[in-house]
Amino acid sequence: MKDGALVIDTRSPGEFSHGHIEGALNIPYNAIAGKIGAHTKNKSTQIIVYCHSGARSGAAKRSLGGAGYTNVVNGGSLHRMRKILGQ
Protein backbone atom coordinates (compact mmCIF):
# COMPACT_ATOMS: atom_id res chain seq x y z
CA MET A 1 0.00 0.00 0.00
CA LYS A 2 1.04 3.59 -0.55
CA ASP A 3 3.75 4.83 1.83
CA GLY A 4 4.01 1.43 3.54
CA ALA A 5 0.71 1.72 5.42
CA LEU A 6 -1.06 -1.45 6.42
CA VAL A 7 -4.63 -1.41 5.14
CA ILE A 8 -6.92 -3.72 7.06
CA ASP A 9 -10.46 -4.71 6.17
CA THR A 10 -12.16 -5.37 9.50
CA ARG A 11 -15.21 -7.11 8.03
CA SER A 12 -15.88 -10.84 8.14
CA PRO A 13 -14.02 -13.18 5.77
CA GLY A 14 -17.28 -13.69 3.85
CA GLU A 15 -17.71 -9.97 3.29
CA PHE A 16 -14.04 -9.64 2.36
CA SER A 17 -14.38 -12.39 -0.27
CA HIS A 18 -17.08 -10.37 -2.05
CA GLY A 19 -14.75 -7.42 -2.59
CA HIS A 20 -12.06 -5.43 -0.83
CA ILE A 21 -9.33 -2.85 -1.35
CA GLU A 22 -6.45 -4.26 -3.38
CA GLY A 23 -3.61 -5.23 -1.05
CA ALA A 24 -5.75 -5.10 2.11
CA LEU A 25 -5.41 -7.66 4.87
CA ASN A 26 -8.56 -9.18 6.33
CA ILE A 27 -8.57 -9.17 10.13
CA PRO A 28 -12.05 -9.02 11.68
CA TYR A 29 -12.45 -6.12 14.10
CA ASN A 30 -13.05 -8.35 17.12
CA ALA A 31 -9.75 -10.22 16.60
CA ILE A 32 -7.49 -7.39 15.45
CA ALA A 33 -5.62 -6.66 18.69
CA GLY A 34 -4.55 -10.29 18.99
CA LYS A 35 -3.59 -10.75 15.34
CA ILE A 36 -1.94 -7.47 14.35
CA GLY A 37 1.42 -8.53 15.82
CA ALA A 38 1.80 -11.11 13.04
CA HIS A 39 1.88 -8.24 10.55
CA THR A 40 3.79 -5.53 12.43
CA LYS A 41 5.51 -5.20 15.77
CA ASN A 42 6.23 -1.50 15.18
CA LYS A 43 3.63 0.40 17.21
CA SER A 44 4.07 3.51 15.03
CA THR A 45 3.34 1.78 11.71
CA GLN A 46 0.55 3.58 9.87
CA ILE A 47 -2.52 1.35 9.93
CA ILE A 48 -5.69 2.21 8.03
CA VAL A 49 -8.79 0.24 9.01
CA TYR A 50 -12.10 0.13 7.16
CA CYS A 51 -15.33 -1.89 7.10
CA HIS A 52 -18.82 -1.60 5.59
CA SER A 53 -19.94 1.59 7.33
CA GLY A 54 -17.11 2.73 9.61
CA ALA A 55 -18.51 1.32 12.87
CA ARG A 56 -16.42 -1.86 13.05
CA SER A 57 -13.32 -0.03 11.86
CA GLY A 58 -13.94 2.51 14.64
CA ALA A 59 -14.00 -0.33 17.17
CA ALA A 60 -10.82 -1.76 15.60
CA LYS A 61 -9.10 1.63 15.86
CA ARG A 62 -9.95 1.84 19.56
CA SER A 63 -8.75 -1.72 20.12
CA LEU A 64 -5.44 -1.06 18.36
CA GLY A 65 -4.99 2.16 20.31
CA GLY A 66 -5.53 0.21 23.52
CA ALA A 67 -2.82 -2.20 22.37
CA GLY A 68 -0.38 0.71 21.99
CA TYR A 69 -0.58 1.39 18.24
CA THR A 70 -0.26 5.14 17.79
CA ASN A 71 -0.79 5.75 14.08
CA VAL A 72 -4.18 4.22 13.31
CA VAL A 73 -6.67 5.86 10.96
CA ASN A 74 -10.32 4.91 10.57
CA GLY A 75 -10.79 4.96 6.81
CA GLY A 76 -14.52 4.49 7.21
CA SER A 77 -16.43 2.47 4.66
CA LEU A 78 -15.22 0.31 1.78
CA HIS A 79 -17.06 2.68 -0.59
CA ARG A 80 -15.22 5.71 0.86
CA MET A 81 -11.85 3.96 0.66
CA ARG A 82 -12.45 2.95 -2.96
CA LYS A 83 -13.31 6.54 -3.80
CA ILE A 84 -10.19 7.92 -2.07
CA LEU A 85 -7.89 5.35 -3.70
CA GLY A 86 -9.55 5.42 -7.10
CA GLN A 87 -10.47 1.75 -6.95
Structural domain count, the chain? 1
Q: Provide the whole-model pTM.
A: 0.93
Confidence of residue 71 (pLDDT cuts 50, 70, 90): very high
Residue 71 is part of which domain span? Answer: 2-85
CATH code at 26? 3.40.250.10
Average pLDDT over residues 80-84: 93
pLDDT of residue 85: 87
Query: What one-letter code names the amino acid at 18?
Result: H
SS (H, E, C) the chain: CHHHCEEEECCCHHHHHCCCCCCCEECCHHHHHHHHHHCCCCCCCCEEEEECCCHHHHHHHHHHHHCCCCCEEEEEEHHHHHHHHCC
